[in-house]
Structure 1
């Protein structure tokens, strides 16, 4: 991981004593730095003389019942350990909130590269197609995991995934609504009326499958680990595929960087139809019908999330320093979705 980090106090002596008892071969002394960024579950790099670890915790204080479920993230990492899907090794889950003030888990530190811009300016143009091929191959492998065989058959509700998700994010949007947005109203009316039949086999869905939630090897266009499983559940795998493909339509400048208006051919980045075709070939799927629905839903969901950030920013309790900028994305995101359904 190469995310910029900042020092953050923890009770390192108490934490080191605890980890020494629960992680084989753990040896102190211990240093810690908090990774910068907008994670709702604060994440820390732990340094010891022999090894690096990553600690991911719930925020301290009173939490909503189902929010910040780091125990679910830990469960997913454990379940995927021997599947071939690239994830960090889950070392230990601590449910004793007395140790550092909240539930946390510790996983391996995966050294590699994180890219924040899907144009991949850091790599040679001739290799960018290979990076995207690795991303799609990784996503297909994730969705091919037999959830029952790895013990995740009860990780979420089966069936009617998009109907339930549309209802969920509509409620979330209404709860955080600050002013009328015509494009959001259009989506709230259109999406449930055009929801396709849920014919895909239920898969483990990551929920936030973006390029900056992937760690790549230093020396090859290969995904080393998928990060941030906070929104994972069981559902329709096309949600992840469409969510990733949003980057092709998002503006090149903004809080979430995209490729809209970029010459993807000159950049060496495959077209959307090529990525979708590769995914379908890897999974043995027929051509995807109603593709614009899946894209429109992805924009609507992201807009609803951004509206929640905006509401918290206006209330003065947003955790992300860029909250007002994120909040400004709501209407533009909704308008991009409406372009797909008009």
Structure 2
């Protein structure tokens, strides 16, 4: 059985020795790939599992750390934050060529596009409110109490984030972009004097959750996934990135950025301002500096997209739809400048 990123015979042997209770693996299929870590469905005799591994090429330092993902979902398994069941971690790169972990398969949907998901206005509002509530639940976790006290360094988090993503840009960039350099300098000058601390997901958006949809009930979020950039830091940075992905009615420019869908245009969805307000009500957070965090979200996403573009240019992506993604980077940089100038 030949699947990019999977050495099937070695995986079967490893699972027989480490997760024999699920029975012999009988099939594998790629769920998502190319933009971030690779995700596969592994069918076994007992039940389906999900395997996560790093991308095939251009892996940046500190990114795509399977051990961190595994550690955080294991810690959150008994909290109010919905996560998939942790099953097993493999750090032996000889098995499939990279570290990986297995988690339980969640019977939910990754919701991205409005033409693929039928929601009534009441359901759309309920789902957007639930998304804010789950984000607040992540930020409310007693991280020391669940064994994540050393998972990051909250003090100085935003300054380190600016430095880290600046370094990632230097490693990934495929062209010179003066407006990026000007943005980085502006963000350094605008760093908030004080910031809260908590567990942060690092890439929180609706399609990094699995949603239960039913015709006669409000949607619910069954699991938050893709924890590869999680750490301890400033929770409002999570909110800023979520709002970066959000598309409001009339925002034509946002529709040209292909890294998130247009589900938020469904009638009934909260717009960015109301979503932020609902999060503030649930969490009690102070959003006085939200414009900075939205600008930072666009900055961070620009760097991430440039990395995806770099992998595409090297022929190291798995999947389709990457030909135009590099054009999004200048747009994201411009949106970050506009957030600093005009606010949310």
TM-score by length of 1: 0.87
Distance (whole Å) between structure 2 residues aligned to residue 278 and residue 268 of structure 1: 14
Distance (whole Å) between structure 1 residues aligned to residue 174 and residue 7 of structure 2: 39
Q: Tell me, which stretches of 5 or more residues in structure 2 are unaligned?
A: none
Distance (whole Å) between structure 1 residues aligned to residue 73 and residue 133 of structure 2: 19
CA RMSD of aligned residues (A): 2.7
Among residues 252, 255, 266, which one is paired with 2:255 in the alignment? 252
Distance (whole Å) between structure 2 residues aligned to residue 199 and residue 59 of structure 1: 33
Distance (whole Å) between structure 1 residues aligned to residue 256 and residue 193 of structure 2: 35
Partner of 2:225: 227
Distance (whole Å) between structure 2 residues aligned to residue 157 and residue 137 of structure 1: 24
Distance (whole Å) between structure 1 residues aligned to residue 19 and residue 65 of structure 2: 21
Q: What is the CA distance between 1:227 and its match in structure 2?
A: 1.0
In structure 2, the residue corresponding to 1:30 is in which secondary structure?
strand
Q: What is the CA distance between 1:102 and its match in structure 2?
A: 2.5
Q: Structure 2 matches for 1:131-142, cutoff 5 A?
A: 131-142=127-138
Partner of 2:192: 196
Q: Tell me, which stretches of 5 or more residues in structure 1 are unaligned?
A: 1-5
In structure 1, the residue corresponding to 2:237 is in which secondary structure?
helix
Q: What is the CA distance between 1:35 and its match in structure 2?
A: 1.7
Counterparts in 2 of 1:217 and 1:193: CA distance versus 1, 3 Å: same
**Which region of structure 1 is more displaced relative to structure 2, 203-212 or 97-106?**
97-106
Distance (whole Å) between structure 1 residues aligned to residue 316 and residue 8 of structure 2: 27
Counterparts in 2 of 1:173 and 1:133: CA distance versus 1, 3 Å: same
Q: What is the CA distance between 1:216 and its match in structure 2?
A: 0.4
In structure 2, the residue corresponding to 1:251 is in which secondary structure?
helix
Partner of 2:301: 302
Q: What is the CA distance between 1:13 and its match in structure 2?
A: 4.7
Among residues 92, 99, 106, which one is paired with 2:102 in the alignment? 106
Distance (whole Å) between structure 2 residues aligned to residue 79 and residue 253 of structure 1: 37
In structure 2, the residue corresponding to 1:327 is in which secondary structure?
helix
Greater RCO structure (CA 8 Å; 6+ sep): 2
Q: What is the CA distance between 1:313 and its match in structure 2?
A: 3.6
CA contact (8 A) 1:40 1:319 kept: no
In structure 1, the residue corresponding to 2:101 is in which secondary structure?
strand
Query: Across the two proteins, how many residue pairs are aligned to each other?
Result: 332
TM-score by length of 2: 0.87
Q: What is the CA distance between 1:242 and its match in structure 2?
A: 1.1
Q: Structure 2 matches for 1:147-296, cutoff 5 A?
A: 147-200=143-196, 202-219=197-214, 220-246=218-244, 247-248=246-247, 251-257=254-260, 267-286=267-286, 288-296=287-295
CA contact (8 A) 2:187 2:292 kept: yes
CA contact (8 A) 2:32 2:319 kept: no
Distance (whole Å) between structure 1 residues aligned to residue 55 and residue 334 of structure 2: 33
